[in-house]
Structure 1
Amino acid sequence: MIVGALTGSLADPRTLLLGRYDTEGRLRYVGRTPTLAQAAGAAVAGLLAAGRRGHPWTRWSFSAGWGSREKLNVTLVEPELVVEVGVDVARDASGRWRHPARRHRARPDLSPTDIAPL
C-alpha cells in the first residue's frame, strides 16, 4: 500500500493512512494501520515527506472509526512510500477495509507505480 497521510507528526507517526491508485490514476483511500509501536513509527518517520500543494487528499476528512462522526486530525504526506501490510477481506461498500491493516514493514525498494491499481 501507499502511505498518503498519517496521524501524529512527521517525526512521530502514530497511524498510517493507506491508499492505492485506481486505473484512472486517482489515489484512493483504502484504510489505515492501528497505532504504531514507537519503534515502528521511528522506522518510517525518516522515509516520509510532507505533502506538497495539490496532494490527492487535500480537503478530505477521515473518520476516526467505523461508524464514527469524529474526524481524524491528519498530516498529508507525499504518496511515495510503499508499505507491506496484512489485511482481512472485510470491506465496506466503498472498497475500504473495515479493520486496520497490520503494518509489516516499509518497502523503500518499491515505488507506487509497482503497486497494481485498484
Structure 2
Amino acid sequence: MRSARIAASAAALGVLVYPLAAARAASASPSPAASTTLVSQCESFGPWGVYAKAVTIRSKASTNSTALGVLYRSHRFTVHKTKGNWRYITDRSTGVKGWVSAKYVHREIEDCR
C-alpha cells in the first residue's frame, strides 16, 4: 500500500514538474545578441584595491629598494604600468608615486548578474 502511494505521488509530481522544466530549458538558450551583451557587461572592471592592510610603496620594482610611502587599504590609487610582479602606482590620497608588489593589489571585477 505504501509503495503504491509513493508511486502515485511521484507520478503526480512528475506531471506537475515536467512542464516547468521544459519551459525553463526552452527559455535557457539565449539568442546570440543577448550573450554578446552579457559578455560586454561582465568585462567591466571596478577600481583597484589592496589585499593587505598596508603595502610599501618602493622606488624600484624590488624589495631591496627604498621605501617611499605606505599604501593603505582605504587609499585610492591609479596603476600606470606593470613590470613582472610589480605595479607602478600613484597613491591619490598622498600623491606618492612608486612600485608595489602585484601580490597585494587587485582589480575588482563588477558583478554582472
TM-score interval for Structure 1 and Structure 2 normalised by the shorter chain: under 0.3
TM-score with structure 2 setting the length: 0.24
Higher strand share: 2
TM-score with structure 1 setting the length: 0.24
Higher helix share: 2
Rg larger for: 2
